[in-house]
Amino acid sequence: MLLFVKCSKCGAKTEDEDTCMLATHFPWTCQACGAKNRPLAVHFETEDEETDA
């Protein structure tokens, strides 16, 4: 199962394992747009959720 986090500003998905692990507890920076994301705004998805839509 592949996990990723999605930026709340630009919607870019980050699959970086370190970012995904820390994002649930700490603010993280989007690699695509540089936006700061709050830990509570993190939404974990799997590839299955994305393809079901």
Q: Give residue-wise pLDDT tens across range 1-49.
A: 468 888 999 999 988 888 888 888 899 999 999 999 988 544 556 666 5
Q: What is the pLDDT of residue 2?
A: 62
pTM over 0.85: no
Q: What is the pLDDT of residue 9?
A: 94
Q: Distance (Å, rounded) from C-alpha 9 to C-alpha 2?
A: 22
DSSP characters for 2-53?
Answer: -EEEE-TTT--EE--HHHHHHHTTS-EE-TTT--EE-GGG--EEEHHHHHH-
